[in-house]
């Protein structure tokens, strides 16, 4: 799992915990939908078909392994 960019985020422990919840869900149920992601993160999460996006960052979920990888962090 890749969390190397999380050190740049203010709430890295909260974000890491949420991503771990996503990984657990995918490993338990085999996939995750947008509604479940919104429930976990407590904000709107949208998908462009390849990645998921929040206001703070974008991430990918490997549906075969359940691993998450942050692909972009937005700086304001």
Task: Give this prediction's pTM.
Answer: 0.71
pLDDT at 11: 60
Angle between helices 12-29 and 34-41 (to 10 degrees): 150
Distance CA 65, CA 2 (A): 13
Distance CA 13, CA 32 (A): 22
Q: pLDDT by residue (tens digit) across 29-75?
A: 988 888 999 999 999 999 998 899 988 889 898 877 777 888 888 76
Distance CA 3, CA 13 (A): 10
Distance CA 45, CA 56 (A): 10
pLDDT at 38: 93
């Amino acid at each position: 799992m890749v969390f190397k960019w999380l050190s740049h985020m203010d709430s890295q422990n909260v974000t890491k915990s949420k991503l771990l919840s996503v990984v657990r869900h995918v490993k338990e149920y085999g996939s995750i939908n947008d509604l479940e992601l919104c429930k976990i993160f407590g904000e709107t999460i949208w998908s462009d078909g390849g990645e998921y996006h929040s206001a703070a960052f974008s991430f990918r979920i490997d549906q075969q392994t359940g691993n998450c990888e942050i692909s972009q962090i937005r700086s304001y």
